[in-house]
Chain A
Amino acid sequence: MYVSDLALTDFRSYAQVVVAFEPGITALVGPNGQGKTNLVESLGYLATFTSHRVASDAALVRRGSSRAVIQAKVVRSGRPATLELELVAGKANRARINRSALPRARDLLGRLRTVVFAPEDLALVKGDPDGRRRFLDELLVLLSPKLAGVRSDYERVIKQRNALLKSAGTSRRAGSGPDLRTLDVWDEKAATAGAQLIAARVTAVRGLRPHVESAYERVSSAQSAAELGYRSSLEQTMSDGDRAPGAAVTAEESLTNAHLVQARLLDAMSRLRPKEIERGVSLVGPHRDDLELQLGGLPARGYASHGESWSLALALRLASYELLRADTDFESDGEPVLILDDVFAELDNRRRARLADLVADAEQVLITSAVAEDVPEGLAGARYDVMDGAVTRVR
């Protein structure tokens, strides 16, 4: 698929901008702070309802405005559709497709697929588990949009459950009996949604694995192999005695079975209950899990060099792209739009050239760069200069 037109209203620095794109490679060139990243950020937001730069949507609405609008015409299997998302600060988003309103904004998810490469990606390797969980969850939503609802329900359930645990802990410490009558219900809701998330994440990890391995090999000079695994809080909360011999081999596969995971989550929650009440937090579930990255058998977070970390981060994004492209369950044309946001400046020449090589054949690649020279020669295509919020085609 590709984006043929983009129009922004009161989004970030733009009061109003309209840009037409073509399939193939497009570079948006301009000094930092002139608005080039805002253009591609809006497309990433349209695809996932999250920004790769900020956690809060409020920052996306232009200062002094109450709402921002992102409109994009997306061509999939030759058929165009106009997607529109209205962001109102502090309120739910509103979405339209071909001008007709959707009952829920969430129904827009899945219509545009993007994979965004950005300087922030280094944190996938070097940063906290939170960023890696988000990486997996955003991929899940692209693969299966209905999981967006499961994910937001799960987050809400955990907030409610934590509030209940906290108040139970407070009353226990005050010497009165804690009110735990509804805890079983929250356990059940957390286990149901949590198991669906874990099963989908582990399935995604299994799908990503071969792509990450080969992409890492191609991006780096591959002195060591990249490995990834799903580290579940379920495993960590088990005592060694609970572990059957040979369990490690089948452990990952069993995590792809949501029914099994649900039962295990319920069991873990009942065992952890006193500890959870004492600490006032939910200790087991997808919100405590991690995507484990290793290079040559060592944890990448602690041992990978700067260059190796970049190679691994690129490999994760490239693998997402391959997985989405190969996703045959998707109605038609699941190939995502590739967005390379300011990423070449972060890479040495060898990695630049290899990345360019790997993405050159994609249906659409949107590149942002402060200077044209940072864009590898292999990625020649359309070029726009972005200056002070004005976007000009360079012929």
Chain B
Amino acid sequence: MSTPRAAVVGAVAATCMALAGPAQAQLPSYGVGRPPTPEEIRAWDIAVGPDGAELPPGEGTAVSGKPVYDAKCAACHGATGREGPQDVLVGGQGSLATAKPLKTIGSYWPYATTVYDYIYRAMPFTQPESLTAAEVYGVTAYLLYLNGIIGERDVIDRRTLPQVKMPNRHGFVPDPRPEKFPR
């Protein structure tokens, strides 16, 4: 998703120049709305797509992430990510085709970038968007490590995270509905 970001930057530059004139309205037919400032976009544009283009600078490892996990996550997700009471984050590989599938980051999530995106935007549950980039990289690395996907000292950053091979990367198929039911 590097293209959208480049487009945004270009568009913002163009609209900032437009600000010089008296007409600020962005919607031409109705004369309402104003262009966003680059700061506004930066503050809100927290989504990280699979190519990781939006990832911030910084890095972490399972070693740096463990203390963050223990302090800020373990109470709800368990000492090793397997115990709950909230969503189980570790384990389940090889279970998807069984009678008791366990869907976790390790067994089910197709992209490692989603782990970063989701933890920053939504976790810890009662303090979303409170972790630093280094903390999110660290805790992401720790959860990938607990799932046996990376090594304990592997550095996770904006370059390496999109390259992590998730076990279920190719586990998803498009929607074929409406189905033909044998009647």
Bound pair: A and B? no
Please give the residue numbers on chain A whose beta carbons come within 8 Å of chain B beta carbons, in ascending order. none
Please give the residue numbers on chain B whose beta carbons come within 8 Å of chain A beta carbons, in ascending order. none
